[in-house]
Each structure stands twice: as structure tokens, then as C-alpha cells.
Amino acid sequence: MASDTDATADLATVVNLADFEQLARVAMEPTAFDYYAGGASDELTLDDNPRAWQRWRLRPRILVDVSQVNTTASLLGAQTVLPVGIAPMAFQHLAHESAEPAMAAAAARQGVVFCLSTMSSRSMEEVARAADKAGGGPRWFQLYVHRDRARSADLVRRAAAAGYGAIVLTVDLPVAGRRERDSRNQLPYPEAYGNFELPAANAKGGTLPVVIGGLNDSALSWADLAWLRELTALPLVIKGILTAEDAALAVEHGADGVWVSNHGGRQLDRTSATADVLADLVGAVAGRAEVYVDGGIRRATDVLIALAMGARAVFIGRPLAFALAAAGEYGAIRALDIVAAELRNDMALLGVTRLDRLGGEYLVRG
């Protein structure tokens, strides 16, 4: 792909995940960049997410034989090369024309979980084919429950058929957050809906809150989980939990995974940074489900901190979107290479050779 080749040259200057943001700022339409980079309201939670990881300090142990470090993890029974996944992000064609198929292929090649958004710009079947062509590996399907339940049921069935290994139910978007950059940019809602036809009633007006308001079911409640459980035998992950109370409820309602998330600061502003609540939620889950977390991950050091707090894996969003923007699949591969290299380096320097050895004793509040 010509544009990839061109962009690839730029990656010579890339040293860490943050570097991709500057490249993406150049590569993307400004309004599309803002759509990805921005958050809700004053963006306080957006800004706090990465800083919250940085408030912790590591306690490295010395004179440990670190000639071999093992970065593998197991998520819902599947083995991954890294304790990392790619968070669901809508409309990835806004980042790069190669979009979700390229991102899924990068995940497959690098051995990390790929989680596809309901709002993918390409169909889940096309994405699955691209991933399989790149070697396969665990992929999950993120679900928004629409008012029209039949449509949602259809999505779940298609996901299972296309080899997606878990349903990730997002519960923090009963209505769309107030993303003021998009309002100022008068961002029209994208027209690429890879997974379904946008109902005609929703196609008009066209701003994000209007479209979401027409699709998503803001009446969704715990009682509806039974419907979902009946629909599919796939493991169920609930994404967007920020309180210990809800983490416990999720487990009691049969969730296999609890995904701690504030939607990247894009929904309710002034929710806690995920790093500030993760340990509490791990305590509430008490080993009855796997715990994942996203929000502000910019370094493998953040990943290690999350794992030391009890997360099973960490999902990365914006940095991978920006890497995709910078150089398509190659950019995402490169970004994951950096995460892997940082992780191996951090583990050796922390004196930890296996991820399941990590625990709170490696952390101290900075």
C-alpha cells in the first residue's frame, strides 16, 4: 500500500508509543484526530488517565536471574504473547483506510487480543478473514445493545459464527458523552457502518449523540443480561465498570470478565482514572472473574502496574489508533513491538520473570 510505504519512513523516528500521536496528528484529518484524541466535557478524566498510572512507583528486586522473561498471558483460556489487547474503537477508517482489518491483522501477528467494535467501519466477517490470514488468535466482539434487540441478537450470532471468542458488553454508553471537540468541529457522524445498516430514522441529523440516541437502548439494565446469556454460549465480559459494587454485581450476574474502564474519558467526565479504582475492583471480584483495564496506557510500565494491581490484561486504545494512522498495519505492528520490548526490559529490571508473580508488593504510591 503506497501510503503505508510513505508513512513507514517516518517510523524511523518512533521510539515510544507517545511518538505515534504526533505522526497521527499530521496523517489524520484534524476533525478525525480530535474525534480519537478528545474526551468528554473538560477532559479532566481523559487527562487524568495516563497520569494516574504515573503516580505509582515500582519496587524492583535485585539479583534475580532474568536471563529468561516470559511475557505470555492467558485470557479466557486463550494464550497470548503479551498481557495486552487492542481496545474496541469505532470507525477506524477515520485513522487509516486499511481500518479494522489491518488492526486485527497486526494483533494476530503479535499475539494480542483484538476487540472489534460494534461500530466498526468494516464488517466483522471481513475483519475475521484478515485476522485469520495473519495467523489468527483470540478476537472478541464488543457489543452495544440496540433498542431493536433482534438486530443485537443477530450481531451476537454473527460474531460467534465468525470466530469471535467473547462478547464484550459495553455498559457505559446508554447515551453519548458530551465530546466538545466534536461539537466545535461540527463532526458529522461517520457513514461507514460495517456491521449493520443504519436505520433510515437514524441516518438523518447525523451527529453522534443523535445516532447513538436512536440506536442504543438507554433502558438496558441488569435484568437484560439473562437475555444475552441465553443468546450465546460465548464468555461474557462487561466493559465500563468503575465501582466495586458493580464489579460484584457483574460477577453475580455471571460475567466471565470485568473490564474496568471510563471509556477513555469520552463518556462521563470526572469519573476516576481507572488506575485509581482498579485495585478496589479486583478486591470486589475476588478471583471470580478475570479483570481487565484500559485508559491512559502509554508504557509497558503502565501494563506492569495494572497487572501488579491484579488485572489479568490491559487494553490499549488511542496509541494503536495513532499507530494505525501513521502507517497502517505496519504502524500497529511496530507499536506492539515497542510494548513487547518495553515489557521485557521492565520485567528484567523489576526482577520478575513471569507475569503471575506480579503483586502489590512491587508497588508503592509515588
Per the CB < 8 A criterion, the answer to whether 69 and 348 are in contact is yes
41 contacts a second copy (rule: CB under 8 A): yes
233 contacts a second copy (rule: CB under 8 A): no
Please give the DSSP secondary-structure letter assigned to residue 316. E
61 contacts a second copy (rule: CB under 8 A): yes
Per the CB < 8 A criterion, the answer to whether 313 and 113 are in contact is yes
In the bound state with a second copy, the residue whose beta carbon lies nearer, of 42 and 191, is: 42
In the bound state with a second copy, the residue whose beta carbon lies nearer, of 55 and 133, is: 55
- Select the residue interacting with a second copy from 43, 246, 254, 288 (CB under 8 A): 246
- Select the residue interacting with a second copy from 34, 269, 290, 294 (CB under 8 A): 269
44 contacts a second copy (rule: CB under 8 A): yes
- Give least dist CB 125 to a second copy, A: 29
Q: 29 is written with which cell numbers?
A: 484529518
70 contacts a second copy (rule: CB under 8 A): no
Listed as own residue / partner, the contacts of 157-160 with beta carbons closer than 8 Å and 24 or more positions apart are 157/231, 157/232, 158/124, 158/125, 158/195, 159/124, 159/234, 160/232, 160/233, 160/234
Cα 282 to chain centroid, rounded: 18
- Give least dist CB 140 to a second copy, A: 19
Q: 352 is written with which cell numbers?
A: 520478575
In the bound state with a second copy, the residue whose beta carbon lies nearer, of 186 and 197, is: 186
Angle of CA points 250, 253, 256, to nearest 5°: 65
Cα 56 to chain centroid, rounded: 22
- Select the residue interacting with a second copy from 43, 198, 348, 357 (CB under 8 A): 348
Cα separation, 8 vs 327, whole angstroms: 6
- Select the residue interacting with a second copy from 142, 232, 267, 274 (CB under 8 A): 267
Per the CB < 8 A criterion, the answer to whether 281 and 291 are in contact is yes
Q: Hey, is 310 helix, strand or coil?
A: coil
Cα separation, 213 vs 209, whole angstroms: 6
- Give least dist CB 262 to a second copy, A: 8
- Give least dist CB 53 to a second copy, A: 9
Q: How many CB atoms lie within 10 A of CB 135?
A: 12
221 contacts a second copy (rule: CB under 8 A): yes
- Give least dist CB 346 to a second copy, A: 7
Partnered with residue 91 across adjacent β-strands are none
Q: Give, as ranges, the residues between 86 and 125 that touch a second copy (CB under 8 A).
A: none
- Select the residue interacting with a second copy from 34, 256, 290, 346 (CB under 8 A): 346
Q: Give, as ranges, the residues between 292 and 321 that touch a second copy (CB under 8 A).
A: 299, 301
Q: Give, as ranges, the residues between 138 and 167 that touch a second copy (CB under 8 A).
A: none
Please give the DSSP secondary-structure letter assigned to residue 315. E
Which residue out of 93, 96, 146, 263 is catalytically annotated?
263
78 contacts a second copy (rule: CB under 8 A): no
Per the CB < 8 A criterion, the answer to whether 89 and 321 are in contact is yes
Active-site residue 263, yes or no? yes
Per the CB < 8 A criterion, the answer to whether 141 and 165 are in contact is no
- Give least dist CB 48 to a second copy, A: 8
Cα separation, 78 vs 23, whole angstroms: 33
* Active-site residue list: 263
Task: List interacting residues with a second copy (CB under 8 A).
Answer: 13, 15-16, 41-42, 44, 48, 54, 56-67, 171-172, 174-175, 177-178, 180, 183-184, 217-222, 224-225, 238, 240-243, 245-246, 249, 267-272, 276, 299, 301, 341-342, 345-346, 348-350, 364, 366
